[in-house]
Structure 1
């Protein structure tokens, strides 16, 4: 503490105020994404692969015949694993798994596509995610809310601590990103008639630093 002429000297240096702003919105999904697992087991790896390809080709053909655009059908992952007898650790068979992703922008087609997939040999888990065709526009809206939240908090804290502050921040950090900010609802129900479109939640976060001054 410094003294000048026996009076207390108050520093005039700028201080800083750091706040965390959060904003979120919830919107109805406008697309459905089905992830279909096709699994085949055989003691022969070649036969397991051949059978898996046969079922996969049949499923893909049925989807294309139904009218699903080729760019909305993707083969995402092909994996091979070994099955063992857990009691004596002896080899039983090879398991080949293929994952197909199908995008739909018409929820009325969801039941038909679900049935087609099952009827043409898909024999493993089917998951349905409800997604957004243009998530960036919604993330930007959430981000705007996050910046306003940061401004509101800065004003509240400055008033509470009895300091003035510059409402223009000298540093802003975006803590979130469109890639990880979105939470999609999903369903793995085996009865497609129970599946309904879900709500998508988008959360954005920022950190802002403001300069403060004593009164």
Structure 2
């Protein structure tokens, strides 16, 4: 925070005419809103190897198709299932300092949006049962983050106003209530990723997933004038 006083005097007809620019007081305001997660974004896929590239691709395609079918059977529309990563890599063993070709590794990762968050654990289990062997992350978010972010912005501006009023009282000056500059410093946060442990894939009961809450924060820089 800072405040500056600007002034100068000009001699006019032997008299000094004092002109003073408005004094400025700059503060930052912060606001936080807590929102319960109502969506999950899961990255899940199939990884396999084979000495033959065509065989590796076919095996991967068959298992991925089964995973997609399992997801759709849970009510997830195909529009909420999209390819996130697809790669083919040659694999080698190293023996006695020599590189020996082992086969091909095919990886197909899907990004799945689960709009009924209570089904998150079930989605993972069904996908694994259908052939998925990779669950790299789960991201929890809210379906309408902008609404919550706008609430946080409102709180941030009020916080800045309260700070400015307190400072004006301490300085014993008169604060103009309408700011001259309001600058948004923050941006809505992306979904928060949750690391997923591969060991959980071995569970036979439904995988327990705790979505928790999202903290949506906003920060503003506000400039007031005072006299």
| Runs of 5+ consecutive residues of structure 1 not aligned to the other structure | none
1:195 matched residue in structure 2: 209
Q: 1:149 to 1:51 in 2, by over 3 A?
A: same
Q: 1:182 to 1:75 in 2, by over 3 A?
A: closer
The yes-or-no answer on 1:212 pairing with 2:220 is no
Aligned residues: 207
CA contact (8 A) 1:185 1:200 kept: no
Match of 1:169 among 166, 170, 179: 179
CA distance in 1, matches of 2:215, 2:221: 20
CA distance in 1, matches of 2:8, 2:69: 83
SS in structure 1 opposite 2:149? helix
Q: Which has the larger radius of gyration?
A: 2
Deviations 1:98-132 (A, max 9, x none): 22122223344333322210111111234322221
CA distance in 2, matches of 1:75, 1:37: 9
2:110 matched residue in structure 1: 100
CA distance in 2, matches of 1:198, 1:205: 23
Per the normalisation by structure 2, the TM-score is 0.77
CA contact (8 A) 1:25 1:201 kept: yes
SS in structure 2 opposite 1:21? strand
Q: 1:147 to 1:89 in 2, by over 3 A?
A: farther
Q: 1:20 to 1:95 in 2, by over 3 A?
A: farther
1:51 matched residue in structure 2: 59
CA contact (8 A) 1:184 1:201 kept: no
CA distance in 2, matches of 1:46, 1:109: 35
